[in-house]
């Protein structure tokens, strides 16, 4: 017996309607904001993630599924969606097309993490990227899209925003961080010692309790913002307010991926504690250039679909039940079942949702099965009915029944 790999999950047929619902709401929401879907490969060259996500991040140093293919290339299963989309944006010269370029994706993502509730090794993301617009209005619109999605899914969330500045203010902040952490270096975890040398901003993202305690008193990036970044952040706040979107400023949010500049944000569920971050994103004005494209500003976010479903379940959101058969056609013997088969074929051609027996069950057992399926009508064909060219049709909700001629079946069930 071969089991499913650790940290992965099957979506079973009885549950897939929940996924389809969340994905459907995501697609509809994206449409309202004029985004089109982009599909990129599940794997990319490893270097893409080292260059974009950043080679001092946990994702790149510890969590990637990387392997050599038979052509000796280093390949990585994507740990997030932005890098591949950015690669495609450059490779397909989208900067020369219509800007802004607004797109979304629904993807599997892979990270070698310690599996817990809401934290998997294969998980799924709905993500959004908008390329070409530099103003805070577009940050606000991206946040508004995430906000609409979460509201459309019936979730209660809190929005945290921050600005992590541009390379200019980041340099000053990194210096401030180094001064703050230098005397405390001995008390930091092993990884944070490397972060201190290579990328001090990452110190603020450490999940170790001891480091988190020290981080609480670290300087705030907001005190280091340059004039342009400060203005951008002020404009964002004003746009959010004018859209009626409530937010809280949290200067501790730096995000786990290196490509962010200026705006970063997270939506956190207020109904659960751990793994409550359902969605995160921000602006990444330097990424396209870093990957060899021109200077193109961009902003985006990703929401974890497993997290959304988990939070929806925990907060008692009702997901609309999947469609049920309009009619179940039961046949008493082999000849009657043959007729049921013929009628089902004709009805399906007209687009009617119909089910029939596949297990050679008795009429009584077929009735039970039809009831379990939630069929709205059960049409029974016995020997007499077959001879007279009709079926006895029972409406399950009311218990009322009437005879319907075979030739009137399509007309009778269409639109029911």
Sites of contact with ligand ATP (CB under 6 A): 80, 111, 113, 118-120, 123, 125, 256-257, 275, 277-280, 302-304, 306-307
Please say whether the beta carbons of 229 and 237 come within 8 A: no
Task: Give whichever of 111 and 170 is closer to ligand ATP, judged by the CB atom.
Answer: 111
| In the complex, minimum distance from the CB of residue 205 to Mg ion, in angstroms, rounded to a whole number | 9
| In the complex, minimum distance from the CB of residue 364 to Mg ion, in angstroms, rounded to a whole number | 54
Task: Give whichever of 8 and 295 is closer to ligand ATP, judged by the CB atom.
Answer: 8
What is residue 258's DSSP assignment?
A: T
Task: Give whichever of 276 and 331 is closer to ligand ATP, judged by the CB atom.
Answer: 276
Rounded to an integer, what distance in angstroms lies between the CA atom of residue 58 and that of residue 362? 60
**Which of Mg ion, ligand ATP, none interacts with 157 (beta carbon under 5 to 8 A by kind)?**
none
| Burial (Cβ within 10 Å: 0-12, 13-18, ≥19) of residue 46 | middle
| In the complex, minimum distance from the CB of residue 304 to ligand ATP, in angstroms, rounded to a whole number | 2
Task: Give whichever of 80 and 385 is closer to ligand ATP, judged by the CB atom.
Answer: 80
| In the complex, minimum distance from the CB of residue 256 to ligand ATP, in angstroms, rounded to a whole number | 4
CA geometry: angle 40, 90, 148, nearest 5 deg: 60
**Which of ligand ATP, Mg ion, none interacts with 80 (beta carbon under 5 to 8 A by kind)?**
ligand ATP
Q: Helices 305-314 and 16-32: crossing angle, nearest 10°? A: 110
**Which of ligand ATP, Mg ion, none interacts with 56 (beta carbon under 5 to 8 A by kind)?**
none
| In the complex, minimum distance from the CB of residue 256 to Mg ion, in angstroms, rounded to a whole number | 5
**CB-based closest residue to ligand ATP:** 304
Q: Could you tell me the two tokens for 84?
A: 């591949």
| Burial (Cβ within 10 Å: 0-12, 13-18, ≥19) of residue 346 | middle
| In the complex, minimum distance from the CB of residue 405 to ligand ATP, in angstroms, rounded to a whole number | 55
Please say whether the beta carbons of 162 and 262 come within 8 A: no
Task: Give whichever of 69 and 209 is closer to ligand ATP, judged by the CB atom.
Answer: 209
| In the complex, minimum distance from the CB of residue 39 to Mg ion, in angstroms, rounded to a whole number | 24
Task: Give whichever of 64 and 327 is closer to ligand ATP, judged by the CB atom.
Answer: 64
Task: Give whichever of 174 and 275 is closer to ligand ATP, judged by the CB atom.
Answer: 275
Rg (CA), the chain: 28
Rounded to an integer, what distance in angstroms lies between the CA atom of residue 352 and that of residue 340? 14
Task: Give whichever of 268 and 344 is closer to ligand ATP, judged by the CB atom.
Answer: 268
Rounded to an integer, what distance in angstroms lies between the CA atom of residue 361 and that of residue 208? 60
Task: Give whichever of 112 and 341 is closer to Mg ion, judged by the CB atom.
Answer: 112
Helix-, strand-, coil-residue percentages of the chain, each rounded to 5: 45, 20, 35
Rounded to an integer, what distance in angstroms lies between the CA atom of residue 123 and that of residue 213? 30
**Which of ligand ATP, Mg ion, none interacts with 290 (beta carbon under 5 to 8 A by kind)?**
none
Q: Which residues bind Mg ion (CB under 5 A)?
A: 256
Rounded to an integer, what distance in angstroms lies between the CA atom of residue 101 and that of residue 361? 56
| In the complex, minimum distance from the CB of residue 124 to ligand ATP, in angstroms, rounded to a whole number | 8
Beta strands in 170-308 (DSSP E): 248-249, 261-269, 277-283, 298-304
Contacts of 40 (CB under 8 A, 6+ apart): 78, 81, 84, 85, 87, 88, 105, 107
| In the complex, minimum distance from the CB of residue 299 to ligand ATP, in angstroms, rounded to a whole number | 14
**CB-based closest residue to Mg ion:** 256
């Amino acid at each position: 017996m071969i089991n499913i790999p650790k940290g992965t999950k099957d979506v079973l047929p009885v549950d897939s309607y929940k996924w389809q619902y969340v994905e459907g709401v995501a697609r509809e929401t994206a449409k309202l904001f004029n985004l089109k879907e982009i599909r990129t490969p599940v794997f990319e060259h490893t270097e893409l993630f080292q260059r974009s996500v950043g080679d001092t991040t946990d994702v790149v140093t510890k969590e990637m599924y990387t392997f050599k293919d038979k052509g000796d290339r280093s390949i990585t299963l994507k740990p997030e969606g932005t890098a591949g989309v950015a690669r495609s944006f450059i490779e397909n010269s989208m900067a020369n097309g219509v800007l802004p370029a607004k797109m979304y994706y629904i993807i599997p993502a892979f990270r070698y993490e310690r599996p817990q509730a809401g934290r998997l090794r294969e998980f799924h993301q709905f993500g959004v990227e908008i390329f070409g617009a530099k103003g805070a209005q577009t940050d606000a619109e991206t946040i508004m899209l995430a906000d609409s999605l979460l509201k459309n899914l019936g979730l209660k969330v809190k929005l945290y925003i921050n600005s992590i500045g541009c390379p200019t203010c980041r340099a000053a902040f990194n210096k401030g961080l180094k001064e703050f952490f230098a005397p405390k270096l001995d008390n930091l975890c092993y990884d944070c010692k490397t972060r201190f040398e290579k990328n001090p901003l990452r110190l603020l993202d450490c999940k170790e309790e001891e480091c988190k305690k020290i981080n609480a008193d670290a300087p705030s990036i907001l005190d280091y913002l340059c004039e342009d970044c400060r203005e951008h952040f002020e404009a964002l706040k004003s746009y959010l307010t004018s859209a009626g979107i409530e937010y809280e400023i949290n200067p501790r949010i730096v995000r786990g991926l290196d490509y962010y500049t200026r705006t970063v944000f997270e939506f956190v569920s207020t109904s659960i504690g751990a793994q409550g971050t359902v969605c995160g994103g921000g602006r990444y004005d330097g990424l396209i250039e870093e990957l060899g494209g021109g200077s193109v500003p961009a902003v985006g976010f990703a929401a974890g679909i497993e997290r959304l479903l988990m939070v929806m379940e925990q907060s008692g959101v009702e997901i609309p039940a999947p469609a049920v058969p309009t009619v179940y056609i039961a046949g008493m013997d082999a000849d009657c079942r043959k007729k049921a088969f013929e009628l089902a074929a004709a009805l399906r051609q007209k687009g009617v949702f119909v089910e029939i027996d596949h297990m050679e069950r008795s009429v009584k057992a077929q009735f039970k099965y039809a009831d379990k399926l939630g069929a709205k009508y059960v049409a029974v064909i016995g020997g007499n009915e077959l001879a007279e060219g009709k079926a006895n049709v029972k409406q399950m909700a009311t218990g009322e029944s009437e005879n319907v001629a075979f030739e009137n079946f399509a007309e009778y069930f269409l639109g029911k």
